[in-house]
Amino acid sequence: THWTRNTFEKVMGITEGDADMKLVYDVSHNIAKVERHTIDGEGTRDLVIHRKGATRAFPAGDNHIPDKYRNIGQPVFIPGSMGTASWILLGNSKSLELSFGSTAHGAGRTMSRSAARRNYTPDSVRKNLESKGVYIKALSREGMVEETPEAYKDVDSVVEVSHSLGIATKVARLVPIGVIKG
């Protein structure tokens, strides 16, 4: 959250207070935590759960979820790319059975950052985004190219897997109108 706000201020020249930015939910990804889980329907055990490219998707009623969301399930944010949708989901009970209360944290890359730099230019990325009605403001032309939408998997397909397995339920599909790249 700190770095998001810092980047917004640096790129846009607007402070957090001036932008009236409100935090919906903050959760770590790419982290290891000790959690208690049931293994193969047997008793529970303390396990170290390492989520790399993944995030928590705990179901309603789980004590790890803040009171504000406990009745509905953990909010899950699955970002797409700069030019594709992102999703808000809610964790379901199947997540505990199938994935230790986890789901994907994003669409996932289809090409490396260096491959994106070899295959795309800042102008091609900007034109592509503008053709989709997405405005971009970036500090680094190289960073913008590394995050081209073509470098990522189809986020809608990734979300559909989580939804169809019952790991998380789709709540909202968000389509970008602007991108800030620090």
Distances (CA, A) of 20 to 16, 17, 64, 171: 6, 5, 28, 24
Q: Is residue 84 part of a domain?
A: yes
Q: Is residue 6 part of a domain?
A: no
Residue 4 has pLDDT above 90, yes or no: no
More confident: 133 or 14: 133
Q: Is residue 140 part of a domain?
A: yes
Question: How far apart, in whole angstroms, are the C-alpha atoms of residue 78 and residue 88?
Answer: 6
Q: Is residue 8 part of a domain?
A: no
pLDDT value at residue 16: 67
Q: Is residue 152 part of a domain?
A: yes
pLDDT value at residue 161: 97
pLDDT value at residue 11: 76
Residue 150 has pLDDT above 80, yes or no: yes
Averaged confidence pLDDT in the chain: 91
Q: Is residue 63 part of a domain?
A: yes
pLDDT value at residue 148: 94
- The yes-or-no answer on residue 50 being catalytic is no
Is residue 152 within 8 A of residue 108, CB to CB? The reply is yes
Q: Is residue 12 part of a domain?
A: no
Per-residue pLDDT band for 13 (boundaries 50, 70, 90) equals: confident
pLDDT value at residue 62: 94
Three-class HEC string of the chain? CHHHHHHHHHHHCCCHHHHCCCCCCCCCEEEEEEEEEECCCCCEEEEEEEEEEEEECCCCCCCCCCHHHHCCCCEEEECCCCCCCEEEEEECCHHHHHHCCEEECCCCECCCHHHHHHHCCHHHHHHHHHHCCCEEEECCHHHHHHCCHHHECCHHHHHHHHHHHCCEEEEEEECCCEEEEC
**Owner of token pair 């032309």:** 141
Q: Which of 9-23, 61-75, 80-94 has the lowest mean pLDDT?
A: 9-23
What domain range is 53 assigned to?
17-181
Q: Is residue 11 part of a domain?
A: no
CB atoms within 10 A of CB 66: 11
Q: How many CA atoms lie within 13 A of 6 on its CB side?
A: 3
Q: What is the pLDDT of residues 84-143, one digit of tens each?
A: 999 999 999 999 999 999 999 999 999 999 999 999 999 999 999 999 999 998 888 888
Say which of 29, 37, 105, 163 is annotated catalytic: 105
What is the total count of domains within the chain?
1
Question: How far apart, in whole angstroms, are the C-alpha atoms of residue 136 and residue 149?
Answer: 12
pLDDT value at residue 68: 93
